[in-house]
């Protein structure tokens, strides 16, 4: 599978005519956008739950958790393929942090679709409350139908002219999300403007003669808004909202989707399944947990069928 954006595997160091090093937008680097998932199995489900609990116990941000999750479910990302080496996870973690928000969402979206494929259903019934009449109603959502905007050829960089100055910036990524989450925890009273400018200092592409802080401070709020628009134009985007109409009053409104909701199956359900198979087939827990999810469910269906047949006799 391919990401709508991707990350640069490496940046070649080059210099201008005066011998000054130039940064990424002017260098040649290959955009990496291929990825593959690990096979779904019970052992992976347990690992994801353990990592989730680790993030909770250590009060890590949602961005940190998403990075951990992605590093766990991927076997390949761009130029790296896991081969059961001790540093596999660290290598994948460093790469998922280089992915922009939409790419990270896209992987989780595909993981959700893959989960639906395993369970034989891509449509999920969700609940919503009408903001006009307060009525509650259910609606079906086909996750496959979410629209996606691909990155432009300039991604992950944007260049624009502000006044007499040429500005180069890069699209924010998962590492930036983690940084901002940590920064906010240390600056709980920070304003949106302070947050915006703190992030911008990380995104500005400068040479050795330019100070990113001084450049950011020289930019007006209107110029920063222009930079944000330029970044949005080059970056990929996965739809995060859908248009709905209340069945009671007909009011049309938007609903923000939560890609992370119910992404992890309850661990109690997995343990119940392991218990059923262990009791019936006398298999070891480790062997059952490493069964591909499709095979585990196939055995459970046959067990349920055989038990039903015995009950009918």
Question: pLDDT digit of tens for each residue in the chain (313 aa)?
Answer: 999 999 998 654 444 444 444 444 445 678 999 999 999 999 999 999 999 999 999 999 999 999 999 999 999 999 999 998 999 999 999 999 999 999 999 999 999 888 765 555 668 888 999 999 999 999 998 888 889 999 999 999 999 998 888 999 999 999 999 999 999 999 999 999 999 999 999 999 988 878 888 889 999 999 999 999 999 999 999 998 999 999 999 999 999 988 887 778 788 999 999 999 999 999 999 999 999 999 999 999 999 888 765 655 4
Decide: 100 and 236 in contact? Cβ < 8 Å.
yes
3-state secondary structure of 59: coil
3-state secondary structure of 166: strand
Decide: 70 and 104 in contact? Cβ < 8 Å.
yes
Decide: 68 and 93 in contact? Cβ < 8 Å.
yes
Residue 13 has a pLDDT of 43
Decide: 48 and 72 in contact? Cβ < 8 Å.
yes
Residue 28 has a pLDDT of 60
Residue 260 has a pLDDT of 82
The predicted model scores a pTM of 0.86
The alpha carbon of residue 55 and the mean position of all alpha carbons in its chain are separated, in whole angstroms, by 16
Beta bridge partners of 157: 170
In the block, which residue shows the tokens 């991927």?
Answer: 74
Give the integer Cα–Cα distance in Å for 312 and 122: 33
Residue 56 has a pLDDT of 94
- 241 burial level (CB within 10 Å; 0-12, 13-18, 19+): exposed
> Cis peptide before 156, with omega less than 30 degrees from 0?
yes
Decide: 208 and 20 in contact? Cβ < 8 Å.
yes
Torsion of CA 277, 281, 285, 288, to 10 degrees: -70
3-state secondary structure of 186: helix
Please report which helix (H) or strand (E) contains residue 50, including its range. helix 42-57
Size (the chain), residues: 313
CA angle 144, 265, 272 (to 5 degrees): 135
Residue 24 has a pLDDT of 44
């Amino acid at each position: 599978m391919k990401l709508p954006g991707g990350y640069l595997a490496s940046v070649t160091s080059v210099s201008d005519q005066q011998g000054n090093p130039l940064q990424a937008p002017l260098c040649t680097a290959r955009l990496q956008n291929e990825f593959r998932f690990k096979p779904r199995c019970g052992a992976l489900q347990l690992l994801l739950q353990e990592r989730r609990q680790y993030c909770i116990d250590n009060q890590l941000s949602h961005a940190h958790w998403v990075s951990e999750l992605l590093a766990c479910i991927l076997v390949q990302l761009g130029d790296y393929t896991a081969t059961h080496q001790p540093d596999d996870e660290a290598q994948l973690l460093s790469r998922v942090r280089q992915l922009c928000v939409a790419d990270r969402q896209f992987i989780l979206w595909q993981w959700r679709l893959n989960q639906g494929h395993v369970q034989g259903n891509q449509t999920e019934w969700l609940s919503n409350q009408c903001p006009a009449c307060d009525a509650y109603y259910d609606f079906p959502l086909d996750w496959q139908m979410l629209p996606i905007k691909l990155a432009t050829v300039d991604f992950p960089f944007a260049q624009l002219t502000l006044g007499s100055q040429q500005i180069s910036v890069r699209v924010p990524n998962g590492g930036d999300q983690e940084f901002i989450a940590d920064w906010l925890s240390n600056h709980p009273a920070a304003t949106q403007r302070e947050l915006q400018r703190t992030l911008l200092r990380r995104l500005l592409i400068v040479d050795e003669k330019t100070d990113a802080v001084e450049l950011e401070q020289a930019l007006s709020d209107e110029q920063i808004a222009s930079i944000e628009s330029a970044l949005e134009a080059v970056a990929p985007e996965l739809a995060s909202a859908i248009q709905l109409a209340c069945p009671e009053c007909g009011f049309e409104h938007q609903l923000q989707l939560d890609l992370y909701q119910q992404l992890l199956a309850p661990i109690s359900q997995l343990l119940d399944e392991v218990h059923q198979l262990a009791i019936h087939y006398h298999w070891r827990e480790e062997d059952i947990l490493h069964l591909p999810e499709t095979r585990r469910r196939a055995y459970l269906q046959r067990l349920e069928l055989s038990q039903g047949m015995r009950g009918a006799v």
